[in-house]
Structure 1
Amino acid sequence: MRKPEPPSIKELEAFLEMLSAERNAALNTRMAYARDLRDFQGFLTRRRATLPAADADSIRAYLAQLDGAGMAPRTAARRLSALRQFYRFLAAEGWRKDDPTLAIDAPKLGRPLPKILSEEEVVRLLEEAAKLPGAEGARLVTMAELLYATGLRVSELVSLPLAAVTRDQRVLVVRGKGGKERVVPLSEPALDTLKIYLERRREFLQGPPDRPAPSPWLFPSRGKSGHLTRVRVSQLLKDLAAKAGIDPARVSPHVLRHAFASHLLGHGADLRSLQKLLGHADISTTQIYTHVAGERRQTLVRDHHPLSKTRKGG
């Protein structure tokens, strides 16, 4: 059997070609792998080593350098993932006898807790939205109410069809990830704002006011998609946060989804019901909100219990 030839200086290009041809990886994905591997290549060059021949000690030294530079563990883990796939490819092609990444432990990531707004902050946000005049105000307060009342993802919100709310119903049938449908109940405030918005919706349609062009979307737009974009919704919410005296960096559509979940859990909702409302495929994703609720309870005890050592004057 003919022994495979050693890798050429184009081993990285061969790997990227494999990603494209065999895995149908998107251009952005291939570019990200290329950046990560070339960064490691630069590190190896300074150590007078080469990319295809790197050993486990070199990889550990590289990860230690990333940690020393303050790189987030999640980003370092992504870099290591690129290295794993690259060296697995070299071993599969017979260009290496071993995979040096097998001996490397992934950085400990922890599980980041979601950003949370308090109930009082959400009320301030909604009250500020209700003050805004005209059709723009009616639309924004409706979107904010729907996000907080239903826990919709922003992609689900902007792609809601008009048919989802034109009938006199108290629930939304939402098509979520993977095309799966779920039923989400609507609150009275959300229903009230919807009715007001629907009377002004024609102002967002293309064409003359007396003969606007029809649109299948609840939140139509003159953009390419035909409906409001996720980016635009996020911008509008950040502007609203500034008006309400809340740091805009703390507010986004996803933060309102987190607020919906954590506030429901705080008021006694069970995890299974919450999982269905959020459209999570796995309940482990929903369980992160138990950690949020736990931290809030710890803060409550620490700040207000009469025997707390951290309390002023205690």
Structure 2
Amino acid sequence: MPVEFPVPARGAALPALTGAGPGEFTEAWLANRRLSAHTRDAYRRDVAGWLAWCAARELNPLRANFLDVNSYGRQLEDPTARGGRPLSPATVARKLSALSSWYDFLVKLRAVDANPVSGADRPHVDRDHSATVGLTPEEVDALLAAADADTGPAAARNRAAVALLADLGLRVGELVSLDVTDLGAERGHRSVRFVGKGGKPRRRALTPSTTYAVDAYLAERAAAQGVTVPELTGPLLVATTGTRLDRHSVFRLVRRLARAAGLPAWAQLSPHSLRHAFATTARAEGVPLEDVQDAMGHADPRTTRRYDRDRHNLDRDPAYVIWAARARRRG
């Protein structure tokens, strides 16, 4: 018979977890970490996938060892086991990383003696490479132009969404989580506040073009509801039904506009492509790495460097700077 685990009780205190099943542990683990709603859902799915794999094999996950984790990882990488859809090494590594964090939590609670993922064989991930399809500055301009030319009842909202992605390099989860009340003004800047990855509170400045797009959208939305802009509440970006715009709609929007703009790789683009373009363009324009890192909310500058698609361009070789400085001294 498959192993069955009780449904987690939300809000349960950690001391009450003695003798609890993996489901309760998962909710307690997530509640113990500062995570965005999107990351929380992703981690929950990652652990649920492992628990389902264990249940199918009548394996108690609290008694699993590194050999079991290795078998699970191999299945994730095997296209025949997934209906011809293998996961990338980065995705498998992410799933195992979430699982390792879950087991670390269980070790601290003394629910297990050791973390079985720590001894497992994780796939190698090239930290200097990203599978996301990037965009050149000219392609971003074309995408924004397509948004400006867009028509229909959601055109103003679409322009605001794409402007926020392009000018701020937001993650799609950060974009769709924005509320009207997150907009503000600080020391002469129009700004937006939000919770970034890892539950970190963030704030960014809005460019004049993004401010114009957002204000135009809110003015149109307020007029349609028969209220003033200050009276608007709820999500910043809403669907035609009035509910919060979801990430899947933003994916479809980016690809539709990219296709309208005539971008060759439109079918492979995603909102994250605009995030990569933000980092690449900022670095190419001379923005210091640490400023780009702060703007993107990266804990590690190596992550920011990976987003910079132009980092290996020979035009940026520091040898030229050294040579030019030497030439000035001799001049």
TM-score w.r.t. length of structure 2: 0.62
Residue 258 (structure 2) pairs with residue 241 (structure 1): yes
How far apart are 1:211 and its partner, in Å?
9.3
Highest CA radius of gyration, 1 or 2? 1
Percent identity over the alignment? 25
Instruction: Determine which of 190, 194, 201 is the counterpart of 1:175.
Output: 194
Residue type of the alignment partner of 1:260: F
Q: 1:265 aligns with which of 278, 283, 299?
A: 283
**Alignment: residue pair count:** 273
Q: Which amino acid aligns with 2:280?
A: S
Compared CA separation, residues 300 and 13, structure 1 to 2 (3 A): same
Residue 73 of structure 1: how far off its partner (Å): 2.7
Residues 128 and 244, structure 1, Cα contact 8 Å, conserved in 2: yes
Report the equivalent of 2:269.
Answer: 251
CA contact (8 A) 2:53 2:72 kept: no
Q: How does 1:53-92 map to 2 (within 5 A)?
A: 69=79, 72-74=88-90, 76-77=92-93, 78=95, 85=103
SS at match of 1:287: helix
CA displacement 1:173-193 (0-9 Å, x = unmatched): 32222251323241x332343
The structure 1 residue matched to 2:126, chosen from 110, 117, 121, is: 110
Residues 1:139 and 2:139 are matched in the alignment:
no
Cα distance change of structure 1 residues 130 and 212 upon mapping to structure 2, 3 Å threshold: closer
| Distance across 2 between alignment mates of 1:147 and 1:54 | 42
Equivalence for 2:17: none
For the 8 Å contact 2:89–2:125, the answer to whether it is kept is yes
SS in structure 2 at match of 1:183: strand
Partner residue of 1:219? 237
**1:19 counterpart (19, 22, 41):** 22
Change beyond 3 A, Cα 1:167–1:68: closer
CA distance in 2, matches of 1:262, 1:300: 12
Q: Conserved in 1, the CA contact under 8 Å of 2:305 and 2:311?
A: no
**Residues 263-301 of structure 1: CA deviation (Å, up to 9, x unaligned):** 1111111111112222334434323234x2224x16999
Aligned residue among 275, 278, 282 for 2:296: 278
Residues 293, 224 of structure 1: alpha-carbon distance in 2 compared, 3 angstrom cutoff = same
Q: Is the aligned partner of 1:197 residue 2:214?
A: no
Report 1:273-312 matches (<5 A).
Answer: 273-290=291-308, 292-295=309-312, 297=313
1:164 to 183, 193, 196: 183
Structure 1 residues 204, 300: closer, same or farther in 2, change over 3 A?
A: farther
Q: After superposition, what is the alpha-carbon deviation per residue over 1:147-202, rounded to whole angstroms, capped at 9, x for unaligned?
A: 2112223333341425726899543132222251323241x332343444344233
- Name the amino acid aligned to 2:246: T
Q: Secondary structure at the match of 1:171?
A: strand
Moved more, 69-78 or 122-131: 69-78
Looking at structure 1, the residues matched to 118 and 247 of structure 2 have their Cα atoms a distance apart, in angstroms, of 40
What is the identity, as a one-letter code, of the residue corresponding to 1:190?
T
User: For the Cα contact (< 8 Å) 1:271–1:283, is it kept in 2?
Assistant: yes
Give the Cα–Cα distance (whole angstroms) in 1 for the partners of residues 61 and 202 of structure 2: 47
| Cα shift at 1:251 | 2.9
Residues 172 and 184, structure 1, Cα contact 8 Å, conserved in 2: yes
8 Å CA contact retained: 1:176, 1:279: no
Q: State the one-letter code of the partner of 2:88.
A: A
- Find out whether 1:119 has 2:137 as its counterpart: yes
Closer/same/farther in 2, CA of residues 169 and 65 from structure 1, 3 Å limit: closer
Check conservation: 2:89, 2:124, Cα contact below 8 A.
yes
- Relative to the length of structure 1, the TM-score reads 0.65
Range 242-251 or range 115-124, more displaced: 242-251
Pairwise CA distance, 1:236: 2.1
The 2-side partners of 1:191 and 1:99 are apart by: 48
Partner of 2:15: none
Inter-CA distance 162–201: structure 2 relative to 1 (3 Å threshold): farther
**2:143–2:258 Cα contact (<8 Å) kept:** yes
- Unaligned 5+ residue runs, structure 1? 1-8, 45-49, 302-314
Distance in 2 separating the partners of 1:56 and 1:218: 45
Moved more, 22-31 or 152-161: 22-31
1:153 and 1:100 mapped to 2: Cα distance?
32
Do the aligned residues in 1 keep the contact of 2:66 with 2:119 (CA within 8 Å)? yes
